[in-house]
A = this chain, B = another copy of it.
Amino acid sequence: MDSGTLRFDGIDYPDGRSSDPRRHGWMEGAPPPSERQVRFADESFLAFPQMRWSLSHMRELVPTVNVWRGPGPASDLGTPTGAHDAAIDGLAFTDLQGRERRWDESLHDTYTDGIVVLHRGRRVYERYFGALQPHLPHACFSITKSYAATLCATLVHEGVLDESQRVPHWLPEMKGTAYEDATLRQLLDMQIGVAYSELYADPQAQIWDYARAGGVRPRPAGYSGAGNFYEYLQTLQPEGRHGEAFAYKTVNTELMAWIMKRVTGVSLAQMLSERLWSPLGCEEDGYLSVDPICVPMGGGGLSASLRDLARFGELMLRGGAWQRRQLLPEAVVADIRRGSDPAKFAQAGYTLLAGYSYRSMWWVSHNALDAFEARGIHGQRLYVAPKADLVVARFASHPVAASAANDPITLPAFLALARLLHHG
A contact set with B: CB distance below 8 Å: 27-28, 30-32, 37-41, 57, 59-66, 68, 71, 73-74, 135, 221-222, 228, 230, 258, 261-262, 265, 283, 285, 287, 290, 292-295
Bound together, the chains give a CA A44 to CA B293 distance in angstroms of: 12
Contact of A230 among B30, B61, B68 (CB under 8 A): B30
Pairwise interchain contact A63-B65, C-beta atoms closer than 8 A: no
Pairwise interchain contact B30-A262, C-beta atoms closer than 8 A: yes
- For residue A285, which residues in chain B have a CB less than 8 angstroms away from its CB? 285
Bound together, the chains give a CA A294 to CA B292 distance in angstroms of: 20
A230-B31, A262-B30, A293-B39 are known contacts. Are A59 and B64 too (CB-CB below 8 A)? yes
- For residue A265, which residues in chain B have a CB less than 8 angstroms away from its CB? 28, 30
Could you name 27 residue pairs across A and B whose Cβ atoms are closer than 8 Å?
A27-B294, A28-B265, A30-B230, A30-B258, A30-B261, A30-B262, A30-B295, A31-B228, A31-B230, A31-B293, A32-B293, A40-B63, A41-B292, A57-B294, A59-B63, A59-B64, A59-B66, A60-B65, A60-B290, A61-B63, A62-B63, A63-B63, A64-B64, A68-B135, A71-B74, A73-B73, A221-B221
Contact of A40 among B37, B38, B64, B292 (CB under 8 A): B292
Copies in the complex: 2
Q: Taking each of A64, A221, A283, which has the highest tally of chain B beta carbons within 10 Å of its own beta carbon?
A: A64
- For residue A74, which residues in chain B have a CB less than 8 angstroms away from its CB? 71
- For residue A62, which residues in chain B have a CB less than 8 angstroms away from its CB? 63
- For residue A64, which residues in chain B have a CB less than 8 angstroms away from its CB? 59-60, 63-64
Contact of A59 among B31, B65, B68, B135 (CB under 8 A): B65
- For residue A262, which residues in chain B have a CB less than 8 angstroms away from its CB? 30
**Chain B residue at minimal CB-CB distance from A230:** B31
Bound together, the chains give a CA A245 to CA B60 distance in angstroms of: 37
Pairwise interchain contact B31-A61, C-beta atoms closer than 8 A: no
Pairwise interchain contact B66-A63, C-beta atoms closer than 8 A: no
Contact of A39 among B60, B221, B287, B292 (CB under 8 A): B292
Known A37-B293, A39-B292; further 17 A-B contacts with Cβ < 8 A: A27-B293, A30-B262, A30-B295, A31-B228, A31-B295, A40-B292, A41-B292, A57-B65, A59-B59, A59-B66, A63-B64, A64-B64, A71-B74, A71-B135, A71-B283, A73-B73, A285-B285
A177 to chain B, nearest CB (A): 16
- For residue A32, which residues in chain B have a CB less than 8 angstroms away from its CB? 293
Pairwise interchain contact B135-A61, C-beta atoms closer than 8 A: no
Bound together, the chains give a CA A57 to CA B64 distance in angstroms of: 10
Bound together, the chains give a CA A244 to CA B65 distance in angstroms of: 44
Bound together, the chains give a CA A283 to CA B72 distance in angstroms of: 10
- For residue A38, which residues in chain B have a CB less than 8 angstroms away from its CB? 294
A150 to chain B, nearest CB (A): 20
Bound together, the chains give a CA A30 to CA B271 distance in angstroms of: 15
Instruction: Please list the 3 inter-chain residue pairs (A to B) with the smallest Cβ-Cβ separation, ordered nearest first.
Output: A30-B261, A30-B262, A60-B294
A415 to chain B, nearest CB (A): 33
- For residue A135, which residues in chain B have a CB less than 8 angstroms away from its CB? 68, 71
A207 to chain B, nearest CB (A): 21
Q: Taking each of A62, A65, A71, A294, which has the highest tally of chain B beta carbons within 10 Å of its own beta carbon?
A: A294
Bound together, the chains give a CA A71 to CA B287 distance in angstroms of: 18
**Chain B residue at minimal CB-CB distance from A257:** B30
Bound together, the chains give a CA A233 to CA B301 distance in angstroms of: 34
Bound together, the chains give a CA A183 to CA B280 distance in angstroms of: 51
Bound together, the chains give a CA A38 to CA B230 distance in angstroms of: 16
Bound together, the chains give a CA A230 to CA B27 distance in angstroms of: 14
A281 to chain B, nearest CB (A): 12
Pairwise interchain contact B63-A294, C-beta atoms closer than 8 A: no
- For residue A222, which residues in chain B have a CB less than 8 angstroms away from its CB? 221
